[in-house]
Copies of this chain bind each other. A is one copy, B any other.
Amino acid sequence: MSDERAAANARTRNRGIPDATVARLPIYLRALHTLADAGQRTVSSEELATVAGVNSAKLRKDLSHLGSYGTRGVGYDVAVLVDTISQALGLTQRWAVALVGVGNLGHALAGYAGFASRGFRIAALLDADPDRVGERLHGMVVRHIDELPAVVAEGSVSIGVIATPANAAQDVCDRLVAVGVTSILNFAPCVLSVPDNVDVRKVDLSIELQILSFHESRKAALTSLPSALSDDGEDEYDEAVGP
C-alpha cells in the first residue's frame, strides 16, 4: 500500500536527476556546442547561464546533479561538460528512430538536421497510405507501416516518432509498442495511452499558439486599461510581497 510513496521516492531518487533538470540539459548542450565552435575552452556558470537563458544558480545546481565538477575560480571545461551532459542524456550512442507518417510534418521531420546532429538516426520512414509507399525522401524510401516489425528487427529501433493524423495515432502507437518501442514522440494532437514502461512526449503546435493567445489577450486587456500598473507590464513573475 505504502508502495505508492516508495515508488515515487524511488523514481525521484533512483533517477537522481530531476525532470526539470533533464529538460534543460539539451539547452546547455546546444549552448556548449556553440561556444566550442567559437573556440572557447572554458566557461563560467554565469556566462553559460546567460547564453542558455537561465539563472546561474539553477545552472550550477543542474550540473551538480550529474557530478560534473567545474573548477572554482575558473569555471567549467567546455569539452568535458559536453561529454558529461551527452553521457547523462544517453547521447553517446546513436539511437535509431522510426518515423511514422510522411505527410507535411513528416516530410519536414525527415529533413530536420537537428536529429542527426544529436546522434539520432532515422532508421525508417513509414506510412499507411499505399500511394506514399515507395516515395523517395531525403535518401530514404518510404515503407509500409506493416513492415514495422521488420524495420525494428533490422535496426534495433527503440524510439518512434508519430506524425500521423490524430485518428491514426493510437493505432500506430499500439503497433510501435507491440514491436518493442519504448519511447514515443507524438506530434498528433491527441492523448496516447501506453503501458507504464513506455515513455511518451507530446509536441503540439496549436497548443503552444493557444498559450501565446492567452498571454496576448491578457496583454491587450492590460493596455486598454488606463493606469492599472505603474510604469511596466511586469505582472506575473513578481508579486509585490514585502520582504
Contact = CB atoms under 8 A, between A and B. Distances in A.
Interface stretch (A145-153, A170-178, A195-203): A195-203
Contacts of A117: 206
Interface residues of A, number: 85
How many copies of this chain?
2
A221 to B, nearest CB: 8
Interface in A95-130: 95, 97, 104-105, 107-109, 111-112, 114-115, 117-120
A138 to B, nearest CB: 9
A107 B109 contact: no
A182 B31 CA distance: 25
Nearest to A232: B196
A35 interface: no
Interface string A221-243: 10000001110111110011100
B26 A211 contact: yes
A189 B210 CA distance: 21
Closest 9 CB pairs of A and B: A90-B217, A114-B206, A108-B108, A104-B108, A26-B210, A183-B212, A53-B191, A26-B207, A105-B108
